[in-house]
């Protein structure tokens, strides 16, 4: 099956602005150098050192330190899409994407903190290129990924099955910490939820793009919607409130991730090419490398 891109049209200019197709960084550089040298496809706090941020890019996996210094992590400069850290094991990371030589990587895994990667499975109808990929925060054997249709794995990514159609204009995926059958999807038209393992979908937020979504271990949902800002709710009561408008002059938050040990600590990549961290649930932000 041919892969159909799902990058939201509204954000395409900003995504291109995050970096032209240029060689990746070969040595230490700054966050500004990183944003100007490559596309950024995902990020998370480093489970081993939450003061640092792991950044999945078009040219490999990088680590950004609190002072804004960026160093390469992966041996290969492949295009890492769908980047997802293991919920508890800091040495294990998951991704998909494209090798430098072309084609698709399938579902890949690192067991040495991102230095080397191996293909676990080509995925269903693959080799796949999961632009959106999520691992259950409470059961690391459960995954959902999007490759045209939605796919799921219940055995750590070894085998995959197609569950049904992906929501239209899919941008991001996240899984409930209380129920691996509950999946959230940020889309061009809102925030969707599936409570039957990505077979059917219902709207939680409508008529506005939701560019990113993540959940903390206590069931707090974070999302970003242009024009509404950083949104927060709980799974038990999904009535979203605006926490803040987002980082100053950012325009958009393209990717957002919560610290699995501190639900009020968030990291994001913005339309202004900055990697920013919030210690107050998105009310205020500080860019890496800035006083």
Dmax of the chain from CA atoms? 49
Note the pLDDT of residue 20.
37
Measured CA to CA, the distance from residue 213 to residue 183 in angstroms comes to: 11
Q: Please, what are the domains in the chain?
A: 9-287 (2.130.10.10)
Burial of 67 (0-12, 13-18, 19+ CB in 10 A): exposed
- Mean predicted lDDT score pLDDT of the chain: 88
At 135-191, the pLDDT tens digits run: 999 999 999 999 999 999 999 999 999 999 999 999 999 999 999 999 999 999 999
Q: Give the residue, 38 or 165, on which the prediction is more confident.
A: 165
- Token pair, residue 29, equals 């550089």
Residue closest to 270 by CA, chosen among 79, 15, 8: 15
pTM: 0.90
* % residues pLDDT > 90 (the chain): 77
List, for residues 101-132, the tens digit of each pLDDT value.
999 999 999 999 999 999 999 999 999 999 99
Using the predicted structure, report yes or no on whether residue 42 has a pLDDT greater than 80.
yes
CA 197/CA 144 separation, integer angstroms:
9
pLDDT mean over 14-22: 38
Nearest to 269 by CA among 70, 47, 75, 134: 70
Sort strands 29-30 and 253-259 into parallel, antiparallel or unpaired: unpaired
pLDDT band at 25 (very low <50, low <70, confident <90, very high): low
Residues 6+ apart with CB under 8 A from 132: 6, 82, 145, 146, 170, 171, 172, 173, 185
């Amino acid at each position: 099956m041919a892969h159909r891109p799902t990058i939201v049209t509204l954000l395409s200019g900003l995504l291109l602005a995050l970096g032209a197709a240029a060689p990746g960084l070969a040595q230490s550089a700054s966050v500004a150098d990183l944003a100007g040298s490559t596309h950024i496809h995902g990020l998370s706090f480093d489970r081993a050192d939450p003061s640092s941020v792991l950044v999945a890019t078009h040219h490999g996996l990088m680590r950004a330190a609190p002072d804004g210094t960026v160093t390469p992590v992966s041996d290969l400069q492949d295009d890492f899409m769908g980047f997802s850290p293991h919920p508890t094991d800091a040495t294990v990371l998951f991704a998909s994407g494209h090798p430098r030589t072309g084609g698709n990587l399938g579902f890949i895994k690192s067991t040495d903190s991102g230095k080397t990667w191996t293909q676990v499975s080509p995925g269903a109808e693959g080799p796949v290129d999961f632009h959106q990929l999520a691992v259950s925060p409470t059961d690391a054997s459960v995954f959902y990924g999007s490759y045209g249709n939605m796919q799921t794995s219940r055995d750590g990514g070894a085998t995959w099955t197609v569950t049904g159609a992906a929501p239209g204009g899919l941008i991001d995926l996240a899984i409930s910490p209380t129920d691996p059958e509950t999946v959230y999807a940020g889309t061009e038209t809102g925030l969707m939820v599936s409570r039957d393992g990505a077979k059917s979908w219902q709207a939680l937020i409508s008529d506005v793009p939701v560019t990113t979504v993540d959940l903390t271990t206590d069931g707090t949902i974070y999302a970003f919607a242009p024009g509404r800002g950083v949104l927060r709710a709980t799974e038990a009561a999904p009535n979203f409130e605006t926490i803040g408008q987002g980082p100053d002059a950012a325009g958009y938050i393209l990717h957002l991730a919560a610290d699995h040990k501190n639900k009020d600590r968030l990291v994001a990549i913005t339309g202004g090419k900055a990697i920013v961290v919030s210690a107050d649930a998105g009310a205020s932000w500080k860019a890496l490398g800035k006083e």
